[in-house]
Amino acid sequence: MKRIIITGGTSGIGRETALQYISDGWTVGITGRRRELLEKFLLLAPGRVHVKQMDVCNPDAADRLRELINEMGGMDVYLHCAGIGFQNPTLDDTTELSTVQTNAEGFTRLVTAAFDYFRRVGKGGHIAVISSIAGTKGLGVAPAYSATKRFQNTYIEALAQLSHMQRLGISFTDIRPGFVDTDLLRGGRYPMLMRPDKVARRIFHAMNARRRIVVIDGRYRLLVALWRLIPRRIWERMRISNKTR
């Protein structure tokens, strides 16, 4: 029986992806900040679902992950879903710094802990992260969000190289969704909004196939390709925004 741990699995994409793995018969470990949401998962598959209350920004988060791994008797796949994002054209420093703390510092803390576990066990493993198409270009309305997502893309790329250098056999999947109808986007009007359950199904199949980079969905693959063709001088003069309600 395969074992997956999903960090940030109590809501949005993480929750829907956890449900996919539970229904497929996996042993699933779920972490999140809200205890009441974690406890609801325990009723879905007693004995196959394990939970651990955790905030990725806390220094003890890696220890909490290791506790959960031990409770599950090991881990085969690690999926990092924890993240925050805001439009912040006024550059409120609290917003920018909290985004960096969660999406860069917290991300690094947990992903390196997962990498270290797979290195010590010596049997390969699989690390997947939910990043974003926002990492493709710097978005003026969300500087910290787009920058931290680019950080995640590059960090996973570096770990993939490190795994090859050290012959560890660890697989990596960088999942880059477009706009998904979750609490993260509440309060705005977004084009091509996707349902989290449909996104989760695509994530599930992409991870099982161990795809390296996944842009969800086809419309966003086209958008990303177009973004990459825009010269920097033009991009920096473009007005990219989402009107609020």
Output the DSSP codes for 3-58.
EEEEET-SSHHHHHHHHHHHHTT-EEEEEES-HHHHHHHHTTSTTTEEEEE--TTS
Q: What is the pLDDT of residue 221?
A: 85
85 domain residue, yes or no: yes
First to last CA, the chain: 46
The whole domain housing 79 covers 3-235
Q: What is the pLDDT of residue 189?
A: 54
153 domain residue, yes or no: yes
Q: What is the pLDDT of residue 244?
A: 33
Task: Count the domains in the chain.
Answer: 1
Cα gap 170→55, rounded to integer Å: 25
219 domain residue, yes or no: yes
Q: What is the CATH number of the domain that holds 109?
A: 3.40.50.720
Q: What is the pLDDT of residue 186?
A: 53
244 domain residue, yes or no: no
User: Do residues 131 and 224 touch, judged by C-beta distance below 8 A?
Assistant: no
Q: If you average pLDDT over every residue of the chain, what do you get?
A: 90
Question: Measuring CA to CA, how many Å separate 193 from each of 15, 135, 148, 179, 184?
Answer: 18, 18, 22, 5, 12
Q: Burial level of 43, CB count in 10 A (0-12/13-18/19+)?
A: exposed
245 domain residue, yes or no: no
Q: Burial level of 30, CB count in 10 A (0-12/13-18/19+)?
A: buried
Q: What is the pLDDT of residue 74?
A: 97
243 domain residue, yes or no: no
Write out residues in the chain with pLDDT < 50, as ranges: 187, 243-245
> Tell me: the pLDDT tens digits for 59-79?
999 999 999 999 999 999 999
